[in-house]
Amino acid sequence: MRVPMIAGNWKMNTTVSEALDLVSAMKGELEKINSVEIAVCPPFVSLAPVKELLRDSSIKLGAQNLHFAEKGAYTGEISPLMLAELCELVIIGHSERRQYFGEKGDLINKKMVAALNAGLTPILCIGEQLEEREGGKTEEVVSAQLREALAGIEDPKATVLAYEPVWAIGAGKAATGGQANETIAFIRQLIAGAYNDKKAREIRILYGGSVTSANAAEFMQQPDIDGALVGGASLKHKEFLSIVNQTAIVKYKK
């Protein structure tokens, strides 16, 4: 069975002291749940202090972005090697980076290669815009995004995929469990085609887009959904804990 994962994407929220408070508020309860892989992805500046707070903890730490070069004259950027000392995971291809920072397939592919080379586990985000869904183009869009991001990557190692329909992110309007599962099952087939059936069975594919404690169970009941990438609700410790708890209950109920 694939171990479910719940990852919190804090985006550009929390100062260092707020990040430490948020982790402190939920750490003890989260650590009691060992059937779900739990990760938090705070802003870069909080990675080192949060790492210290999570020393010896089962809670994993992730970054929200990286540059593809190991080092060099890229003012303001953060390299994979810098991250590899601090965290295990890195979010790549988030729709906000595609939308506000013009990130496209070839850049996302370079970031994927760099992250994997540095020993980081990417959480690769893909998903369609509202017009694309309404135009019946969801499968075409996610196929292209996946193909571009994984181009030339022979072994994506432990890469986690996150299907995040852009129209559901931060919108308060999630997809339905059925809609999300349908597209995620399709993405799993794409992985089978690009790699093999074993990889498709093993790879974890999360849903992301307005997941809260009120709808988490609906997503977790779906057979192809292996967890969630949670934005807004991951900033409220009780919400995040409830999502993790419900995931543990729903996924292991049989």
- Residues tagged active-site: 94, 164
Among residues 232, 241, 246, 251, the one that binds ligand PEP under rule CB under 6 A: 232
C-alpha 110/C-alpha 128 separation (Å) is 21
Nearer to ligand PEP, 80 or 231 (CB): 231
- Smallest CA-to-CA distance from 125 within 94, 156, 169, 80 is with 94
Q: Which residue is nearest to ligand PEP (CB)?
A: 231
DSSP assignment of 1-44 equals -PPPEEEEE--S---HHHHHHHHHHHHHHHTT--SSEEEEE--H
Residue 95 or 245 having the CB closest to ligand PEP: 95
Q: Which of 114, 163, 231, 241 binds ligand PEP (CB under 6 A)?
A: 231
Question: What is the dihedral sign for C-alpha 82, 87, 93, 97?
Answer: negative
Backbone angles phi, psi at 227, to 5 degrees: 140, -160
- x/- mask, ligand PEP, residues 152-181, rule CB under 6 A, reads ------------x----xx-----------
Of 8, 80, 93, 209, which lies in the binding site for ligand PEP, with binding defined by CB under 6 A? 209
Binding site for ligand PEP (CB under 6 A): 9, 11, 164, 169-170, 208-211, 229-233
